[in-house]
Amino acid sequence: MIKVNLCEKFALIDEHWRPKIVGELNGQEIKLVKFRGEFPWHHHENEDEMFMACKGSFRLEFRDRTVELEEGEFVIVPRGVEHRPVADEEVEVLLFEPKNLMNTGKVVDEKYTAPVGEKI
């Protein structure tokens, strides 16, 4: 059992759109990531995702609406729902999702697809 300090872990992240694992439980990973700009549209066929704004704010765009997230708020994106995160300014985000989930779903993007399994 290891205590994790989110502020210390976020300080180790110096790139955008590259989630880093900080914990695992019951086949799920807790990841930290910094967003800035627009991420590609994508979906996950069989996996739900949770996005929580830890520092700053961002929006999750869906084809039929947009959800604004402020610090301390989260939203769960159901499997199969196309979405994209957008952050006008840098934001620190906690993700909760199944182990080994590729961040861009089936979309492979040289700029945005992050390696799976990176820990800090």
- CATH number, domain containing residue 27: 2.60.120.10
Per-residue pLDDT of the chain (120 residues; tens, 9 = 90+): 889 999 999 999 999 999 999 999 999 999 999 999 999 999 999 999 999 999 999 999 999 999 999 999 999 999 999 999 999 999 999 999 999 999 989 888 888 999 899 999
Q: How many structural domains are present in the chain?
A: 1
In a domain, 110, yes or no: no
In a domain, 109, yes or no: no
In a domain, 68, yes or no: yes
CA 107 to chain centroid, in Å, comes to: 15
In a domain, 23, yes or no: yes
In a domain, 30, yes or no: yes
Categorise residue 64: left if φ over 0, alpha if ψ from -120 to 50, beta otherwise. alpha
Tell me the residue range of the domain where 62 lies: 6-98
Residue found by looking up tokens 């830890």 in the block: 54
pTM of the model as a whole: 0.94
